[in-house]
A and B are shown apart, each in its own frame.
Chain A
Amino acid sequence: MGVPTRSIVRAGLIGGVAAIFIALVGLYTKFATLELVGEQITLGRLMIVAPALVAAYAVTRPRIVAGERRVVSLRDGLIAGALTGLGTGIVFAAGTWFADLFGVDRIREVFISVTDELIAFLTFDKGIPGGLVILIVICIVGGVVGGFVRTAPEPIRKPAAVGVLAVLLFGLLQRIVPIALVELGYDADWLYRAGSGLTVLGGVVVFAVAAIADILWNRGGRRLKDRVRQTTETAPAARLGLFLVLVAILAILPLLLGSVISETLGQVMIYVLLGLGLNIVVGYAGLLDLGYVAFFAFGAYTTGLLTGAFLNTTTGAAQPALSADLNFYVAVWIVALLAAGLGLLIGAPVLRLRGDYLAIVTLGLGEIVSVITASKWAQPLIGGPQGMRGVTKAEIFGLNPQDNPQHFYYLALAFVLLAAFVSWRLSTSRIGRAWTAMREDEQVADATGISTTKFKLLAFAMGGAIGSLGGALFAVSIGSLTPASFEITVSITALAVVILGGLGSIPGVVVGALVLIGLPGLLREFEDYRPLIYGGALVAIMILRPQGLIPNVRRTRELAEEEVAQDAWAGGGPSGEGEAVAAVVPGGSLGGEREDLE
């Protein structure tokens, strides 16, 4: 038997509990009607399959038995997957049945998501005994798919997985792709149903195209990629060309996507800026800053004050105690400079603190800023709880970023490019190497003559300046500032963006912001669940893939070395955490598991 029975039972149980968790937290009811492909495949229904699929995928992973890595065969994988799905389905169905027996109304006094609609959704409108059987069968199918995705031969499973992911992505992007196609002059009504997800035909086509593309890529694409890489490495002009092409694509994006989506993209850009700034502090210099919202708030409010915004009061508008009447493009540099100063001010007293203590102190400083912005004490200067409005004067070259999301996108893009350029140059410079050295071992760095004081302060100042630009942009985009926009969630979201993308990686920040801000922004249904997803994502990334989606090359190497060192320790150590060590080997979740030899 390829997979130990105990593991299967455990995975089934965990899958079932996870499914019940998803039901209680309200995700099923929220996404029950979000159609992805045709009328039948909704996001909610995929979420029914997901726990079984993931559990089966996890349970059929290669294991290390007696020092030998054993891959599960396809037959064993399918059987184990089906059994895991069966376990998940039974637990899930039992939970649903219990809810019905006990009384939905009584449970709802505690768990507000348990409704008759939820039960009907989970039983596919077929009533209790019949619907539960369908539920179990669906879970078994999910388990089989999970086992298949893990254990099928590489040339089959990879194109299949890529195809499914592409369908999922196109389904989720149902509010972008059709609009973009129409803007391009192509009416894609065979691909998407009006105001809904893909058509069945569309789904099949997307799947086929993606799968074939993946196969072709494996045949010849690798060579092409290598050649491109070689050319760009040897000829700087080629690299510049590639970069310009990328910028050109970014520049025409809002024209294709219309104003609603440009607005989301603008928000993404703000978080790219925040991510780039935080990346300098956390990714390059290794200083975990949890109070980054301080710079965001500082940038936004200072921009407001410098561009002549006025305070909201109960009786109308009032002049702030301190204000100037500058043009935004003048003000923003002053803001950045002041924020760099604030960075020094915050950085100086906390210099000697390391690691988690630094994190908590910066968290405290960030909270002080949010508490003060919301207090009545701050009323005469920045409006306190009522906030301020009328941030203006951002018109330039006939563009009006304040009223037109597409124009705002260009403004944000310019700032992002600037910040990305600065980060990139910094990371490859002497300063960047000093930061790396400091991050790796502060004492050694100090001993080799790097002034850690100076470089830490520099990191805080640079990070602060870029973060304040994010705040300035935010002030322009929204025009009015209230304390509710400047809470700890901003710090944590920015951190999640940096960590999801990969610490120290500039493309990673962009991808992180697109995934964490862009996707939920496009599907309004996600709005309430954003923090839940961010929190879950932070935990999952730290456990499964600490180097992020697009890892920084050097960082990956370091993590690998750390794991090797720990592996050596854990192997000889008492707690035997081999399982955890194997799971965080860079390159993904394909690490083996040490089985207990009982």
Chain B
Amino acid sequence: MATVTGQRAPGSQLGLLERLPWRKIILVVLSALILLVVVVGSYKTLTLPADERYTATTWKNFVTLGLAQGAIIALIALGYTLVYGILRMINFAHGEVFMFGAYTSFFFSDAWEQSGFLDSNPWLSMALLIVIAMIASMIVALLLERIAYRPLRNAPRLVPLITAIGASLFLSNTARGFFGAQSRGYGVPDVLSGSWTILGVEVNRIQLVVLITVIVAVVALSLFVSRTTTGKSMRAVAADSEIASLMGIKVDRVIVITFAIGGLLAGIAAVLFSITFESVSFSMGFRPGIAAFTAAVLGGIGSIYGAALGGVLLGLLQSVGPALVLTGYGIPSSFQLKDAFTFLVLVLVLIFRPGGLLGSGEAEKV
């Protein structure tokens, strides 16, 4: 698609300002600058004097942490991508769906920790916690769809987005009113602390559990979408909801199922996130939610594998990026800027490749 200015013949009455392809110039300069900053920063970091340099173990830790976090982000991102694929709307409150799952499972985990059940049956209790969080998140997602989004099904596109932002604020502060403003410590069974040695490599136990769970969930989801009748109708609605409804698919039902699946995945992510960071709070949904949305866009919104890939990439970028690029410039506590990294990636992807890595690259959705 040609740029807006490119479509117009360069007539003599147009000023110099309008004739120059400003957008392209700015973009090229911007990308060159960013590339320069990244390359110089990485070079500087890697050539720091030996006593200031990160060790190989530190880098390995950054990478495994990034993988685990990225996997969690990917699970949340799937919720965004599914809903966007079907409704063409950004479910901004999805982070809060995730937060409610985490909080609900916290109360069980807390009780079980006190009764000793968590440590006597660690695997069973983890499985139960995940199921509980899945159910809680699904209920919140369904309520959200029914109360806030369904009345606006045919409204202009910005209306549901504004509603979603309002719903996000409302839900996080509901949790604050329900459960209190302070964050709470999330117990982890003893079995999961420390690390295992697999084939001579030391692996953090929680991170391994997280990765395996996420892989199972993503594979299950993709099988569901590609093999079942419901999955087929989901794809049909995503392709064209009007035609799908003419083919006898109940669009409303498919939308409800989509929100339910998004909620279930967010519930799994909630428990994994909570055992990784060992705490829950009413505001825990916002940043992971935005990161997950970024991941979905990065991978190509609407695509399941795209969301998974985007999540993992973003996780790596968040954990490795600040250390690699910023340390070289002598920026103190570069990890503080990790969220700025997320947003920068989001902005850059949307500007340069709005279709995402696995998307079709078309600008229609934008």
Contact = CB atoms under 8 A, between A and B. Distances in A.
Interface stretch (A70-78, A153-161, A306-314, A348-356): A348-356
A546 B297 CA distance: 28
Contacts of B148: 539, 543
A583 B354 CA distance: 35
A361 B352 CA distance: 12
Contacts of A286: 158
Contacts of A452: 4
A226 interface: no
Pick the most buried of B23, B297, B339, B363: most chain A CB atoms within 10 A of its CB. B339
B154 A577 contact: yes
A66 interface: no
B164 to A, nearest CB: 9
A349 B26 contact: yes
Interface stretch (B132-140, B167-175, B196-204, B206-214): B167-175
Contacts of B165: 290, 492, 495, 535, 538
Interface string B267-287: 000000000000000000010
A99 interface: no
A125 interface: no
Interface string A370-404: 01101111010000000000000000000000000
Given A348-B26, A574-B245, A583 B173 contact: no
A531 B173 contact: yes
Interface in A520-548: 528-529, 531-532, 534-539, 542-543, 546
A352 B332 CA distance: 36
B166 A534 contact: yes
A375 B337 contact: yes
Interface in B172-225: 172-174, 176-180
Chain A interface extent, by class = 35 or more
A329 interface: no
Interface string B130-168: 000000000000000001101111111111111101111
B162 to A, nearest CB: 6
A256 B168 CA distance: 39
B173 A532 contact: yes
Given A354-B366, A575-B153, A25 B174 contact: yes
B22 A570 contact: no
A589 interface: no
A355 B165 CA distance: 14
Interface stretch (B57-65, B66-74, B302-310, B340-348): B340-348
Contacts of B107: 109-110
Contacts of B124: none
Contacts of A562: 156
Pick the most buried of A110, A356, A529: most chain B CB atoms within 10 A of its CB. A356
Nearest to B242: A573
A24 B23 contact: no
A354 B161 CA distance: 13
A580 interface: yes
A288 B158 contact: yes
B178 A538 contact: no
Interface string A280-318: 000000101010000000000000000000000000000
A446 B154 contact: no
Given A534-B169, A535-B168, A535-B173, A453 B290 contact: no
B161 A288 contact: yes
B221 to A, nearest CB: 24
Given A359-B158, A367-B339, A453-B4, A580 B163 contact: no
A363 interface: yes
A286 B156 CA distance: 12
B23 A539 contact: no
Contacts of A531: 169, 172-173
B153 A577 contact: yes
A537 B163 CA distance: 9
Interface in B302-350: 326, 331-334, 336-337, 339-340, 342-344, 346-347, 350
Chain B interface extent, by class = 35 or more
Contacts of B154: 566, 569-570, 577, 580-581
A525 B156 CA distance: 36
A536 B170 contact: yes
A151 to B, nearest CB: 24
Nearest to B363: A352
B315 to A, nearest CB: 17
Contacts, number: 213
Q: SS class of chain B's interface: helix, strand, loop or mixed?
A: helix
Pick the most buried of A24, A26, A532: most chain B CB atoms within 10 A of its CB. A532
Given A538-B166, A569-B154, A360 B333 contact: no
B128 interface: no
Interface in B12-34: 17-18, 22-23, 26-27, 30
Interface in A540-589: 542-543, 546, 562, 566, 569-570, 573-575, 577, 579-581, 583-584
B354 A25 contact: no
Interface string A477-511: 00000000000100010011001000000000000
A223 B167 CA distance: 43
B162 A288 contact: yes
Given A539-B166, A575-B252, A359 B161 contact: yes
B336 A371 contact: yes
B100 interface: no
B179 A111 contact: yes
Contact of A371 (B5, B173, B297, B337): B337
Contacts of B3: 352
B39 interface: no
Contact of B163 (A355, A371, A451, A543): A543
A368 B344 CA distance: 7
A24 B178 contact: yes
Given A446-B4, A529-B177, A537-B166, A542 B159 contact: yes
B163 A364 contact: no
A82 to B, nearest CB: 26
A453 B5 contact: yes
Nearest to B175: A25
Given A349-B351, A374-B336, A532-B174, A580 B153 contact: yes
Contacts of B246: 574
Nearest to A359: B161
A372 B340 contact: yes
A129 B334 CA distance: 61
Contacts of A539: 147-148, 163, 166-167, 170
Nearest to B174: A25
Contact of A377 (B147, B159, B337): B337
A288 B242 CA distance: 27
Interface of B: 3-5, 7, 17-18, 22-23, 26-27, 30, 89-90, 107, 147-148, 150-163, 165-174, 176-180, 242, 245-246, 251-252, 286, 290, 293-294, 297, 326, 331-334, 336-337, 339-340, 342-344, 346-347, 350-351, 354, 363, 365-366
8 contacts: A112-B179, A288-B161, A361-B347, A531-B169, A534-B166, A535-B170, A539-B170, A566-B155
Interface of A: 21, 24-27, 109-113, 286, 288, 290, 348-357, 359-361, 363-365, 367-368, 371-372, 374-377, 379, 446, 451-454, 488, 492, 495-496, 499, 528-529, 531-532, 534-539, 542-543, 546, 562, 566, 569-570, 573-575, 577, 579-581, 583-584
